[in-house]
Structure 1
Amino acid sequence: MPSSVLVAYGTTNGSTARIAETIAEVLRKEGVSATARPARSVTDVGSYDAVVVGGGLYAGRWHKDARRFVRRHGGELAGRPLWLFSSGPLDPSASERNIPPVPGVQRALVRLGAQEHVTFGGCLDEGARGFIARKIVDSGKGGDYRDFAQIEAWAGRIAARLVGRPATS
């Protein structure tokens, strides 16, 4: 059983951070040591037995911190269990159907031999940073579309794989 899992994330307004923290919390509840950290703050992944990397989606691209993380640590990530997630759709689509990874994330998925990728709904609320984000919120197209039951179920399946027991959902 892996003794330590890193959940690294790239976020601008904190929505993806909350998803990463939820994943780490579920892993810990399932008996797996897990830490959620901003991807830009991670200098070494050598002490982790498995890694989950997530990033918000902006204009069809993964957050720059997530992209840089997988480039910088690619050699080490390819040698351990790895899962990827994206967050972003500002509608219920991510809860209704599987949304495939954007092309850059798909390339990382294949190149690094990741176990799986999932796209979760995003969140963009009042006070969001960035000109485009503020325009989206001002136009009434923001909101919170994260499905925490879906996020928790996915994290539970990761935990089951890591501890070698059948997943319950």
Structure 2
Amino acid sequence: MKVLVAVATRHGATREIAESVAAALGTALTDAGVRSQVEVRDAGLVHSVEGLDAVVLGSAVYLGHWLEPARKLAESFADELGRVPVWLFSSGPVGEQKRPAEEPVVVEDLVRRLNARGHRLFGGRIDRRTLEFPERAVVAALRVADADNRDWPTIRAWGREIGTSLARLERSVS
């Protein structure tokens, strides 16, 4: 089973989420006796989804929107992605809340268009040392402190949940 975890990130925090999801997903498939190849790739570097059995697509969220590479991947391959199991995730925002309260603007439409099996919104990370000047200015204006609100046990559990679901699908087809 070939699974792609595609991710759009600016500073690497969302990619770390994607890598954790991919590792947990792959372990769940292996534990279920399903041979698999799980790859994490930058969304902007995905030029084909042919031959994939499932896709997890995630993006960092800035001002309520996914990053362009993730949106473009979803738009460019909407028909193909609609024919395989797809899950979506978003990372951010950060702040006082440990878990973001609002869904990113673009996600509802993508869930419908891609017939996604689900969407998860995970907390993000702000580290001013990694930000460019305009981003630091926005963070300062919003009075957002450096924080890492990623809930690793929840992220890994979601990856295992996807792997278990794919293993059941594989068994039902075999």
Indicate whether 1:115 and 2:117 are aligned: yes
Match of 2:43 among 32, 39, 60: 39
Partner of residue 69, structure 2: 65
Query: What TM-score, normalized to structure 1?
Result: 0.87
Q: State the 1:104 CA deviation.
A: 1.2
- 1:11-160 matched pairs, under 5 angstroms: 11-30=9-28, 31=30, 32-91=36-95, 93=97, 95=99, 99=101, 101-135=103-137, 136=139, 139=143, 141-160=145-164
Are the equivalent residues in 1 in contact too, given 2:123–2:150 (CA < 8 A)?
A: yes
Deviations 1:68-109 (A, max 9, x none): 1101111110110000000012136454x7x45323111011
- Structure 1 residues 77 and 61, CA, compared in 2 at 3 Å: closer, same or farther? same
- Structure 1 residues 66 and 37, CA, compared in 2 at 3 Å: closer, same or farther? same
Match of 2:4 among 3, 6, 12: 6
Q: State the 1:141 CA deviation.
A: 1.7
Identity across matched positions, percent:
34
Aligned residues: 161
Distance 1:104 1:56 in 2: 12
- Structure 1 residues 92 and 141, CA, compared in 2 at 3 Å: closer, same or farther? closer
Detail structure 1 runs of 4+ shifted over 4 Å in the superposition: 137-140
Query: What TM-score, normalized to structure 2?
Result: 0.85
Q: State the 1:45 CA deviation.
A: 0.7
Q: Which has the higher contact order (CA 8 A, sep 6+)?
A: 2
Partner of residue 162, structure 1: 166
Provide structure 1 residue ranges, at least 5 long, that are not aligned to the other structure: none
- Structure 1 residues 92 and 22, CA, compared in 2 at 3 Å: closer, same or farther? farther
Are the equivalent residues in 2 in contact too, given 1:101–1:117 (CA < 8 A)?
A: no
Are the equivalent residues in 1 in contact too, given 2:94–2:144 (CA < 8 A)?
A: no
Are the equivalent residues in 2 in contact too, given 1:126–1:137 (CA < 8 A)?
A: no
Structure number with greater Rg is 2
Deviations 1:125-149 (A, max 9, x none): 1322333432326955221111111
